[in-house]
């Protein structure tokens, strides 16, 4: 019996290690390891034929969120843009300057539904969006097309919007 | 599931130790039976200590068990607790009470009729009734700024299963000390999809489908003759 119970000491040490592990794991909020921002992916394209399109690289593009007056500057000669939709409203207005050195731009208004999405206790909430429609001026733009209505942070889906020049 | 493999091995470690002891002490095959009934009440003294360390959560846990033939212990555990989440982007309170029922099986051969020390493995079924207050949230966007809102409060029922292991040692006549380590597996995960409680007394972090936990019990045994 004494020999058997002497082994309790070792398992007691194990439980102390487990206790220390459990306590150390719970001393703070878990880190947020997921993206909390959801972006709408917009691509500028040009039609090569009735069935073929290609990227239309914009020389020095700039998007401006009209209602917050925040300018989004992208790298030169790019056709791909990530735009945040307004979680406080059912629409978001942007101006698009293909070349920020030339004061010609189009205004695009995106209309959508908002859906509150719980990520985790570590990350909190974010908003997903369902695109309805887009209205646009056509100073430089030819047309716009919604290709994917679900703006939910899933990168393995088609771009959400194509803007045709 | 593989990521929990090491933890499960650790959970069962005391029984590897037991296996070594058993092979060297030459125990006979004769089964020693207790000469008394035993009913125990106990309190988990680790939880009040943890309550002092963590200001955002609290819990209290109690346990009773009754010895039945084949060195099985029918166990009923219960308690209550809560948590306060107060982050800049998320805030709510939870309160819950819980009950667990199950059985522990002694893995040590009884050496004499009054030998009540044992190592054990066991299983539990746990259920908790949880009340979550309305929750405030805030999202922050570099372009559009901050958006705030409120999620209505909710009552939730959670179910889980546990694998347990541990030991009990009779320090004085009728007074026991010992620990239980637990692997917990949430059964009703769908109930926690929408803002799971940060902490559920009796279970642990509500947003984890698998949780490891421990208790350190002080218990008193009531015995009477068979």
- pLDDT averaged over chain A? 85
| Domain-embedded: residue B134 | no
CB atoms within 10 A of CB A102: 11
pLDDT per position as a tens digit, A126-146: 999 999 999 999 988 889 999
pLDDT tens digits, residue range A5-50? 555 666 666 666 766 666 665 656 788 888 888 999 999 998 888 7
Q: Which two tokens stand for residue B50?
A: 């943890």
pLDDT value at A3 more than 50: no
pLDDT in tens, B37-90: 999 999 999 999 999 988 889 999 999 999 999 889 999 999 999 999 999 999
Question: For residue A110, is pLDDT > 50?
Answer: yes
Give strand pairing partners of B129. B97, B157
Q: Is A34 on the interface with B (CB under 8 A)?
A: no
Kindly report the number of other CB atoms within 10 A of residue A83's CB atom: 20
**pLDDT of res. A147:** 92
User: How far apart (Å, rounded) are the C-alpha atoms in residues B83 and B31?
Assistant: 47
Pick the residue from chain A with its C-alpha nearest to B193: A118
Tokens of B59: 């819990």
Domain assignment present for residue B29? The answer is: no
B14 interfacial to chain A (CB closer than 8 Å)? yes
Contact A18 B138 (CB under 8 A): no
B63 in a structural domain: yes
In chain B, the number of structural domains is 1
* Cross-chain residue pair B138–A126, CB shorter than 8 Å: no
Any idea where the domains of chain A sit in the sequence?
A: 39-164
pLDDT of residue A22: 62
Is B217 domain-assigned?
A: yes
Residue A12 dihedral angles phi and psi, to the nearest 5°: -65, -40
The string over A103-119, giving b where at least 16 C-beta atoms fall within 10 Å of a residue's C-beta and e elsewhere, is eebbebebebebeeebe
User: Using one digit for the tens of pLDDT, what is the confidence trace for B202-211?
Assistant: 999 988 899 9
Interchain contact B108–A (C-beta under 8 A): yes
Q: Find, in chain B, the residue whose alpha carbon is nearest to that of A4.
A: B21
CB contact under 8 A, B139 and A127: yes
Chain A residues touching residue B90 (CB < 8 angstroms): 121, 124-125
Q: Is B21 a member of any domain?
A: no
Domain assignment of residue B8, given as a range = 2-16+37-82+96-126+158-185+198-225
Overall average pLDDT of the B191-215 stretch? 89
Q: What are phi and psi of A117, to 5 degrees?
A: -125, 120
Alpha helix positions (H), chain B? 5-11, 13-24, 46-53
Instruction: Let me know if residue B149 belongs to a domain.
Output: no
Q: Which of A1, A2, A4, A28 to mutate to test the interface with B (most CBs of B within 10 A)?
A: A4
CATH of the domain at B101: 2.40.160.20
Query: What are B129-187's pLDDT values in tens digits?
Result: 999 999 999 999 889 999 999 999 999 999 999 999 999 999 999 999 999 999 999 99
| ipTM entry | 0.76
Query: Each residue of B4-32: b (16+ CB within 10 Å) or e?
Result: eeeeeebbebbbebbeebeeeeeeeeeee
Query: B104 in a domain, yes or no?
Result: yes
Give contacts of A23 with chain B, Cβ < 8 Å.
50, 53
Lowest mean pLDDT among A23-27, A53-57, B9-13: B9-13
B77 domain-assigned: yes
Can you tell me the distance from the alpha carbon of B144 to that of A86, in angstroms, rounded to the nearest whole number? Answer: 6
Dist CA B94 CA B135 (whole Å): 10
Q: Do A86 and B144 touch (CB under 8 A)?
A: yes
């Amino acid at each position: 019996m004494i020999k058997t119970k002497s082994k309790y000491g070792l398992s007691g040490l194990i439980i102390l290690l487990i206790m220390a592990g459990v306590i150390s794991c719970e001393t703070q909020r878990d880190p947020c390891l997921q993206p909390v921002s959801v972006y709408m992916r917009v691509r500028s394209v040009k039609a090569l034929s009735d069935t073929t399109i290609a990227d239309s690289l914009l020389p020095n593009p700039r998007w401006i969120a009209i209602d917050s007056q925040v300018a989004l500057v992208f790298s030169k000669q790019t056709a791909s843009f990530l735009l945040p939709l307004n979680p406080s409203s059912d629409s978001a207005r942007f101006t698009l300057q293909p070349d920020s050195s030339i004061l010609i731009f189009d205004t695009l208004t995106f209309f959508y539904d908002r859906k509150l999405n719980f990520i985790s206790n570590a990350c909190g909430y974010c908003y997903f969006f369902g695109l309805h429609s887009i209205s646009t001026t056509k100073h430089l733009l030819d047309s716009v097309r919604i290709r994917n209505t679900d703006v939910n942070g899933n990168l393995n889906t088609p771009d959400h919007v194509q803007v045709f020049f | 599931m593989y990521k929990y493999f090491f933890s499960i091995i650790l959970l069962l470690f005391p029984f590897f130790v037991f296996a070594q002891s058993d092979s060297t002490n030459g125990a006979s095959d004769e089964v020693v039976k207790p000469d008394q009934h035993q009913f125990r009440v106990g309190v988990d003294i680790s939880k009040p200590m943890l309550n002092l360390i963590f200001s955002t959560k609290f819990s209290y846990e109690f346990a009773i068990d009754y010895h039945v033939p084949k060195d099985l212990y029918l166990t009923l555990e219960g308690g209550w607790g809560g948590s306060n989440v107060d982050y800049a982007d998320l805030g709510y309170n939870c309160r819950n009470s819980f009950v667990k029922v199950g059985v522990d099986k002694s893995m040590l051969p009884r050496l004499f009729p009054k030998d009540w020390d044992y190592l054990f493995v066991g299983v539990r079924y746990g259920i908790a009734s949880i009340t979550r207050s309305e929750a405030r949230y805030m999202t922050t966007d570099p372009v559009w700024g901050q958006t705030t809102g409120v999620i209505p409060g909710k009552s939730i029922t959670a179910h889980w299963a546990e694998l347990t292991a541990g030991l009990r040692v009779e320090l004085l006549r009728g007074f026991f000390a010992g620990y239980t380590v637990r692997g917990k597996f949430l059964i009703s995960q769908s109930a926690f999809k929408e803002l799971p409680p940060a902490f559920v007394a009796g279970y642990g972090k509500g947003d984890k489908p698998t949780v490891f936990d421990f208790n350190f019990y002080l218990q008193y045994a009531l015995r009477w003759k068979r």
